[in-house]
Amino acid sequence: MLTNKGHAAVRKLRQKYYDLFSKFYDRFIAMHASDKQGVLRDILAEQAGAAPGDCVLDICTGTGAALRPLAGRVGAKGLVVGLDFSSGMLGAAREKSRGNDRVCLIQADCGRLPFKTGVFTVVTCSHAFYELKGATQVNTLNEIKRCLKPGKPFLMMEHEVPENRLIRLLFYIRLISMGRERALQILKHEAGFLKQHFRQVRKAAVVTGKSKIYICT
């Protein structure tokens, strides 16, 4: 069992890991998710159904790939908030969103969202949920439900387990190397896990065949 100091040290280390990862993250993800044209986040924004005037939250936004397509949907009166705990990732997201005044970036832990209750019309999370550590997954789902307006959706986009054996091996090694035994459990029972937190969980296929989206209300 870790003390509070121990948890803080592990969290700092993880932030550093993501700060470093931010330097080559976009190239890595385009390869891993077979998304060289960058359509994945357009699909996420479309499935999110965000409309003009909406207030959208993208947690674990990373380099902010989902922010532009989401901002395109909320229009001049809407707002898209990108949240991440890594300053490196947020730096890359800032570059990508430069000049887009509908986008706002916040550095915080997704297990403790710094927002009032019931303010967001949609919450999205792409390719990040499996990487959340231990209790942070459940805390994050509780926080998402708290921050969503009643009946509004949470969309979780994740990698399908790769079919290619070598890539599948690398995929598992990456999860395990980050201490993700629980992630492996969730990979196998993810819909059931989400159903413990949401009344409706629907899976939408993604054209690349390498990712999937769960739409939870």
Ligand X SMILES: C[S@@+](CC[C@H](N)C(=O)[O-])C[C@H]1O[C@@H](n2cnc3c(N)ncnc32)[C@H](O)[C@@H]1O
**Under the rule (CB under 6 A), what is the footprint of ligand X?**
18, 29, 60-62, 65, 84-86, 89, 109-111, 126-128, 131-132, 136
Contact 57, 81 (CB under 8 A): yes
Closest listed residue to residue 158, CA positions, set 102, 212, 119: 212
Cα gap 195→154, rounded to integer Å: 12
Closer CB to ligand X, residue 53 or residue 160?
160
CB of 42 to ligand X, least distance (A): 12
Closer CB to ligand X, residue 183 or residue 194?
183
Closer CB to ligand X, residue 89 or residue 148?
89
Contact 21, 84 (CB under 8 A): no
Torsional class of 60: left (φ above 0), alpha (ψ -120 to 50), beta (otherwise): left
CB of 127 to ligand X, least distance (A): 4
CB of 217 to ligand X, least distance (A): 21
Query: What are 157's strand-pairing partners?
Result: 126, 213
Contact 41, 66 (CB under 8 A): yes
Closest listed residue to residue 125, CA positions, set 84, 73, 183: 84
How many residues in total does the chain contain? 217
Closer CB to ligand X, residue 36 or residue 199?
36
CB of 205 to ligand X, least distance (A): 18
The DSSP secondary-structure symbol of 121 reads: S
CB of 106 to ligand X, least distance (A): 10
Closer CB to ligand X, residue 78 or residue 88?
88
